[in-house]
Amino acid sequence: MAQSVKGMRDLYGSELRAFRLVEDTARAAFARHGYEEIRTPILEYTEVFKRTVGESSDIVNKEMYVFKDRGDREVVMRPENTAAVVRALIEHKLLGSSDPRLLFYIGPMFRYERMQAGRYRQFWQIGAESFGVSTPESEAESLLLLFEILKGLGLTQLKLSLNSVGTPESRPAFYAAFRAFFDAREPEYCEDCHRRIGENPLRVLDCKNDRCQKALEGHPLITDFLDEASKHHHARLKELLAALGIPFEENPRLVRGLDYYTRTAFEVLSSDLGAQSALLGGGRYDGLVKQLGGPDTPAFGWAIGLDRLASVVQQVKGEVGATPPALLVPLGEAAALEAAKLAQAWWDRGLPVQLDTRGLALKKVFASADRLGIKTVLLLGDGELAEGVVTAKHLATGEQTKVPFAEVPTRLSPAKA
Ligand code: AMP
């Protein structure tokens, strides 16, 4: 039997309904805040991610789906979308004016990761990016948008974990102090960390190894090495979040897996997720646009893991149920034609009704309607046809009423069906 590729799964039923609920909630919030959608291709040239996400990052090092296409060009299935969105904005000359540009995207990402619960090789992200504004106020706006989505989905047990990773200018002083600390306890760190300390010391903070985390106790804090402007920025963001009622915790070890962050970096964790607790992450990336060849443009954004958020939504709300429409069942050939005409008119008016075209015996129709969770069956036999009515049967109560054709749309609103 053919199977789906490892780490890639089919979405259907209640899980897909949870996805849709999250997407619809997010789209409504994006519209309220004035964010516009952008869709970029799944495939990009490797350069888009290599330098930006970071040559030393796990994503670039181990996890990218890279291959040569038939024209011998090296392409990658996007492992994240921020760098791709930036590539698109530069390509279409959409940056450079003083107007802010607020964008969102929804789509699949691909990372060849080790398999674990809640971690997939094709997973989905919903992301928001704001370009052209460098203020802490713009970050607060973006975080308000984010929490509006999460609260709209009924999630309240959330923790915003916040850090400032400074700027490329302020980092060397931190690196020097951190390397001295590392050297003093060098044998305690894993092999990967020995590589990381040379390439990008921040990655050592991100190591999942328990021994390394222990050896990090008492490490120099990046927040103690911030330049004055970054310090002020960080303090102002915290002030805004406190005033706006967004609870956060400072986490000086939080660095995120991508290299392009400057100043603010954050994650939102959910206790409902167990070990894979990061529901989403984001931060400021003021250098990325320039790095990819565009005009110097400050930017801030985040990406929600849709698979994980949908799973938390299902835990919090219970299974997201389907609302099947009423089932219109014609009995006999004459009724079948009339039923198609009636359904056509009702669909035109927006009435949700499923047309039964199987020509089954009535008993079988009811049994199948029951299995499908249908609440109301509309029967159209020769008698009904002559009278211009349908017999509406509510399956739960067995109650039966005759409804004239013209009254069906008002009597059978989606809520009643
Ligand atoms: P990142 O793009 O690494 O900042 O990740 C942002 C969010 O995407 C994470 O917090 C996760 O919720 C989600 N995510 C990242 N990688 C995966 C994966 N392999 N499977 C499922 N969700 C993921």
Q: What is the pLDDT of residue 55?
A: 83
Ligand 1 pocket check for 113: Cβ under 6 Å: yes
d(CA 292, CA 109): 20
Query: How many angstroms from the chain centroid is the CA of residue 289?
Result: 23
Dihedral over alpha carbons 326, 327, 332, 334 (to 10 degrees): 50
Tokens of 19: 């996805």
Q: Which atom of ligand 1 is nearest to the CA of 125?
A: 8
State in Å: Cα 281 to ligand 1 middle: 8
Q: Which atom of ligand 1 is nearest to the CA of 280?
A: 10
Query: Which atom of ligand 1 is closest in space to residue 257's alpha carbon?
Result: 3
Q: Which atom of ligand 1 is nearest to the CA of 111?
A: 19
Please give the Cα distance from 119 to 239 (Å, whole number).
Answer: 34
CA of 190 to the centre of ligand 1 (A): 24
Structural domains in the chain, sorted by start:
13-170+226-317 (3.30.930.10), 326-411 (3.40.50.800)
Would you say the CB of residue 87 lies under 6 angstroms from ligand 1? no
Pocket test for ligand 1, best of 114, 125, 129, 254 (most atoms within 8 A of CB): 125
CA distances from 283 to 76, 209, 260 (A): 24, 24, 9
User: Would you say the CB of residue 303 lies under 6 angstroms from ligand 1?
Assistant: yes
Task: Single out the residue of 225, 223, 316 nearest to residue 265, CA to CA.
Answer: 223
Euclidean distance between CA atoms 56 and 51, whole angstroms = 9
- Residue bearing the CA closest to ligand 1, atom 8: 305
- Using left for φ > 0, alpha for ψ between -120 and 50, and beta otherwise, residue 274 falls in left
What was the pLDDT predicted at 342? 97
Tell me which of 62, 109, 270 to substitute to probe ligand 1's pocket, judged by most ligand atoms within 8 Å of the beta carbon.
109
Name the closest-CA residue to atom 13, ligand 1: 305
Whole-prediction pTM: 0.91
- The mean pLDDT values, 10 residues at a time, for the chain of 417 residues are 96 96 98 98 96 85 94 97 97 91 98 91 98 97 97 90 93 92 93 89 87 93 94 98 96 83 93 75 96 96 97 91 92 95 95 93 93 95 97 95 94 61
- Indicate which residue's Cα is closest to atom 9 of ligand 1: 280
The DSSP-derived string for 390-408 is: EEEEETTT--EEEEEGGGH
pLDDT attached to residue 196: 87
Q: Is the CB of residue 230 less than 8 Å from the CB of residue 182?
A: no
pLDDT at 259: 78
Query: Can you tell me whether residue 222 is helix, strand or coil?
Result: helix
The pLDDT of residue 61 is 85
So what's the pLDDT on residue 417?
Answer: 46
